[in-house]
Structure 1
Amino acid sequence: MKRFFSSVRARAATAATLVVAIALVAAGAAVLLSLRANLTHQASGQAESAARGVASQLAGNAAYDDLGLDDENRPVQVVDSDRRLVAASEDLERISGTGVDAVKPRPASTPPKSDDDDDDDESESAGEALEPGEISEDAARVTTGSATVDGETADYRFAAVDVNTESKGDLTVYAGASLAAQQSAVSTALTSMLIGFPLLLAVIAGVTWLVTRRALRPVDAIRSEMAAITASEDLARRVPEPDTHDEIARLATTTNETLAALQTSVERQRRFVADASHELRSPIASLRTQLEVGAAHPELLDLDGAVEDTVRLQELAADLLLLARLDAGEKPGGGQVDLAALAREELSQRTRDRVDVRMDLTNVEVTGSRSQLSRVLGNLVNNAQRHARSHVTVTTRTDGTWAVLEVSDDGSGVAESERDRIFERFVRLDDARTRDEGGAGLGLAIARDVAARHGGTLTVREAPGGGALFELRVPAVSR
């Protein structure tokens, strides 16, 4: 049972069936109550009409034997002011609900046979004073009881109407209308509901099951394909997208977009590992060769070359570690950094720059990691040094709510078609691929990642005097 309700189809069918069942029960109860009330009201009207018909005859001084009480198969009683039965339907064998149990008229000297006490008699006979020949205009007093007429017992709705006659005094006419039609209609309706409701609920449950199953069929296809992708580890596969333009279609589209992003990420990681292995292999192989030659022939040891390869290897390892931390989501921290002070400190420590570095600095504070921002500045200056002809310029300024750090050179610049590609990892333009000009193609990628982690951007455009201008924008500290 638990496994059954773990299915969306089962839960949807059960929920729909329960909701419809509650609605049907409520509607059925309302229909039955309304039907019963209407038929009871109709029977009350028929009983009152019959009672007033007899009362009209009595108001016209008709004799009891001339009332025609046996013309219709319904119980009728005529009671005088002393609660004596003075006239009744000939076939009446038993009656209850009118307050007078007698079924045969009695002489005036005979006490009436009644189970009611004096208080009931007074309450029944109480009413407005009528003139001779007048029938009460008040609504008939209506009660429910039963009677046996010509051997058939049934429930009746009784109406009592008062009338005053010149020769007979005050009289009360009781006439009944059978409730058999009401009971039959209610019973038929109830039986129809007891038979029809389960059938209707079964149809609704079946239809809901089939509709839900059909609607969820694309979900099963998506699940099956995802399971196959997981088993095969083939991220190039995609889940089927239905042409329904609904939530399931959007789910399939989003799933495929996620798979595409995951495939791109995995391929990027694979390229990263391959490129990192290649970049690490070269300085390690060179360093090993120099050390082996030095061990065999100390006089041939290129100590400066070994140191240079060691430095390159150290810098590459540091770049790879920083990229790994950035990819892992390392937060930049909440310290405040003055970009102008950072630039002065960083540039003062550079002693081996190929060209002159000029500064145009304005104090501006940002929130973030001092070491990461220092790494960005160093990478941008190193890149500018490799391409500049005569000088590099470092500028800090504010632009609205942004703190701006610019590094420009007077070199050949970056072609517009290459301005996005140079920020990819291990990418070096053709004129920068020689090893003696340094760089493994990670500096600018690291700089852009750090900028993004600080809520900023790093872009490149042409410098006003030619060359390339790299612009770092980071939210400034509000004052």
Structure 2
Amino acid sequence: MRSVRARAALGATLVVAVALAAAGLAVLLVLRGNLTDRAGLEAEVTAREVAGELALGATYAELDLDDDHPVQVTDEEGRVVAVSKDLEAISGTGTAGVVRVPPAPAPSPGDDDDDDDDGSDPPRSEVSTDSPDFTNGTATVDGEKADYRFAAVEVTTEEDVTLTVHAGAPLADEQEAVNTVRTSMLTGLPVMLLVVAGVTWLVTRRALRPVEGIRRELAAITASEDLGRRVPEPDSRDEIARLARTTNETLTVLEASVDRQRRFVADASHELRSPIASLRTQLEVGAAHPELLDLPGAVTDTVRLQVLAADLLLLARLDAGERPGRTAVDLGALVREEVSQRTADRIAPQVSVQDGSLEVAGSRGQLARVVGNLLDNAERHAERSVAVSVRAERDEVLVEVTDDGPGVPEAEQDRIFERFVRLDDARSRDDGGAGLGLAIARDVADRHGGTLTVGTAPSGGARFTLRLPGRERP
């Protein structure tokens, strides 16, 4: 069953069916119990009435036995001493007899002389006040057999004879009521389940209608490859509306990623075309006229191609989600090492490293690349000075690179971190590079859980601030 609507309708129907079955069974048990208790109370009333007559001295023949309630009176030995007039058979009272057995002969007067002289009180008749015993059985009255609820009440007569009165109340009303309710439930249950299934199907269909709209639009986007389209967002504030919004946000991110990739490929192709064309031209000229070969220019173009290829490979690894290592890196020592290797720079950077722990966790090679790119950018734009400082601030380690150049306009401070972006005063391909250094630096900083921002230095130039979380010591 692949349809969500069908599964929801089936699930709701099964749950309602189980609930209705349990509720119906409980209703039947409670109804049967109440009606049985009522029949037992009716039988008890009849039994106590007969027992009261016997306690008042009525003879067995004088008993007023109701034809609607079969009565059986037995003595201590289980002999039947009185029965209803039309009672033909009985069960459930412990004695199946329905024929009156003559009572035992009364004792002779001489046998009572001793008892009369002992001064004891004469026997007293009484009806037991204990709760009667209830049993279920059958009785055949005037040829009709039926189920009855019997109550047994004990009584002591004036002759000190203990009798048990069994009186029954018919259970026909109880059985009829239970059967009627059960039949009604069995008849109404399928109808109720059909209604539940139908309503669930319609409600689920209405609720999932926006999902079908989202699916169709996504299928259309997949077929057309137009990432500018968006799925419809319902006006409700439920899960489906949030799903639509999340889907549109995902499409927006995907569109931006694809656009960025396309621009990256186009810009990379453009950047590679110039040095490759220049190198080819120089080699072709050198092949035809060896004396005209510009060997230093060819080496410069080759180095430029090598650096650009390395930058492109690093960006490709970062875009692929490559995670940096967790090696402990001392940023103070790393900055000193990078500065010491820049002996051919136009301006020697001034280094300031704070004492104390300046360790971060990450890739030493990638962090060295960040520091090197920042120094290259500062040296390219500085007029007379470049300064580098490393210090700890709370749980972070900060690296600041400043220069006294023209600075970065506020409107361009976010744009300079985009790939292949060069500001107007650095558009020269020879002096301005390919525009990948700052983009790589920020991507590496992000991968290490840090940030890279640009501001204005006190001298008016640019100040780049690299913030990285400090390494937690074990």
The question of a shared fold, defined as TM-score above 0.5 by the shorter chain, is answered with yes
Q: How does 1:229-240 map to 2 (within 5 A)?
A: 229-240=221-232
Partners of 1:75 and 1:88 within 8 A in 2:
yes
Report what 1:342 is aligned to.
Answer: 334
Q: Distance in 2 between matches of 1:130 and 1:47?
A: 32
Report what 2:359 is aligned to.
Answer: 365
Report what 1:446 is aligned to.
Answer: 440
Partners of 1:358 and 1:394 within 8 A in 2:
yes
Is 1:175 the counterpart of 2:167? The answer is yes
Q: How does 1:222-301 map to 2 (within 5 A)?
A: 222-301=214-293
Q: Distance in 2 between matches of 1:163 and 1:476?
A: 98
Residue of structure 2 aligned with 1:26, choices 15, 22, 39 = 22
Q: Distance in 2 between matches of 1:232 and 1:326?
A: 29
Partners of 1:131 and 1:164 within 8 A in 2:
no
Residue of structure 2 aligned with 1:9, choices 5, 29, 47 = 5
**What is the CA distance between 1:162 and its match in structure 2?**
2.6
More displaced stretch, 210-219 vs 345-354: 345-354
Instruction: Give, as a single letter, the amino acid of the residue that structure 2 aligns with 1:161.
Output: V
More displaced stretch, 74-83 vs 226-235: 74-83
Residue of structure 2 aligned with 1:47, choices 37, 43, 48 = 43
Is 1:437 the counterpart of 2:437? The answer is no
**What is the CA distance between 1:469 and its match in structure 2?**
0.9
The alignment's TM-score, normalised by the length of structure 1, stands at 0.89
**What is the CA distance between 1:478 and its match in structure 2?**
4.4
Report what 2:68 is aligned to.
Answer: 73
Is 1:406 the counterpart of 2:390? The answer is no
Residue 411 to residue 136, structure 1, CA distance change in 2 (3 Å): same
Q: Distance in 1 between matches of 2:3 and 2:447?
A: 43
Report what 2:463 is aligned to.
Answer: 469
Residue 313 to residue 47, structure 1, CA distance change in 2 (3 Å): same
Report what 2:156 is aligned to.
Answer: 164
**What is the CA distance between 1:165 and its match in structure 2?**
3.2
Q: Distance in 1 between matches of 2:441 and 2:162?
A: 114
Could you give the per-residue CA deviations for residues 222-256 of structure 1, whole angstroms, max 9, x where no partner exists? 22222222222111111111112111111111111
**What is the CA distance between 1:272 and its match in structure 2?**
0.3
Instruction: Give, as a single letter, the amino acid of the residue that structure 2 aligns with 1:218.
Output: P
2:126 is paired with a residue whose SS is: coil
Residue of structure 1 aligned with 2:85, choices 90, 111, 116 = 90
Q: Distance in 2 between matches of 1:282 and 1:266?
A: 25
1:356 is paired with a residue whose SS is: coil
Partners of 2:125 and 2:160 within 8 A in 1:
no
Residue 87 to residue 368, structure 1, CA distance change in 2 (3 Å): closer
Residue 53 to residue 465, structure 1, CA distance change in 2 (3 Å): same
Partners of 1:130 and 1:164 within 8 A in 2:
no
Residue 50 to residue 328, structure 1, CA distance change in 2 (3 Å): same
1:148 is paired with a residue whose SS is: strand
Q: Distance in 2 between matches of 1:87 and 1:312?
A: 127
Partners of 2:43 and 2:167 within 8 A in 1:
yes
Partners of 2:123 and 2:160 within 8 A in 1:
no
Is 1:458 the counterpart of 2:469? The answer is no
Q: Distance in 1 between matches of 2:135 and 2:383?
A: 117
Residue 53 to residue 355, structure 1, CA distance change in 2 (3 Å): same
2:27 is paired with a residue whose SS is: helix
1:244 is paired with a residue whose SS is: coil
User: CA RMSD for the aligned pairs?
Assistant: 2.3
Q: Distance in 2 between matches of 1:165 and 1:477?
A: 103
More displaced stretch, 190-199 vs 415-424: 190-199
Residue 36 to residue 437, structure 1, CA distance change in 2 (3 Å): same
Instruction: Give, as a single letter, the amino acid of the residue that structure 2 aligns with 1:439.
Output: G
Residue 86 to residue 342, structure 1, CA distance change in 2 (3 Å): closer
**What is the CA distance between 1:16 and its match in structure 2?**
2.1
Instruction: Give, as a single letter, the amino acid of the residue that structure 1 aligns with 2:89.
Output: R
Is 1:35 the counterpart of 2:27? The answer is no
Is 1:375 the counterpart of 2:343? The answer is no
Instruction: Give, as a single letter, the amino acid of the residue that structure 2 aligns with 1:40.
Output: T
Residue of structure 1 aligned with 2:206, choices 197, 204, 214 = 214
Report what 1:390 is aligned to.
Answer: 384
Q: Distance in 1 between matches of 2:103 and 2:378?
A: 135
Report what 1:120 is aligned to.
Answer: none
**What is the CA distance between 1:376 and its match in structure 2?**
1.3
5+ unaligned residues in a row in structure 2: which ranges?
106-120
Instruction: Give, as a single letter, the amino acid of the residue that structure 2 aligns with 1:311.
Output: V
The alignment's TM-score, normalised by the length of structure 2, stands at 0.90
**What is the CA distance between 1:141 and its match in structure 2?**
2.7
Residue of structure 2 aligned with 1:153, choices 127, 131, 145 = 145
Report what 2:180 is aligned to.
Answer: 188
Is 1:327 the counterpart of 2:319? The answer is yes
Partners of 2:46 and 2:167 within 8 A in 1:
yes
1:379 is paired with a residue whose SS is: helix
**What is the CA distance between 1:287 and its match in structure 2?**
1.7
5+ unaligned residues in a row in structure 1: which ranges?
111-128
**What is the CA distance between 1:209 and its match in structure 2?**
2.2
**What is the CA distance between 1:81 and its match in structure 2?**
4.5
Residue of structure 2 aligned with 1:57, choices 41, 47, 53 = 53
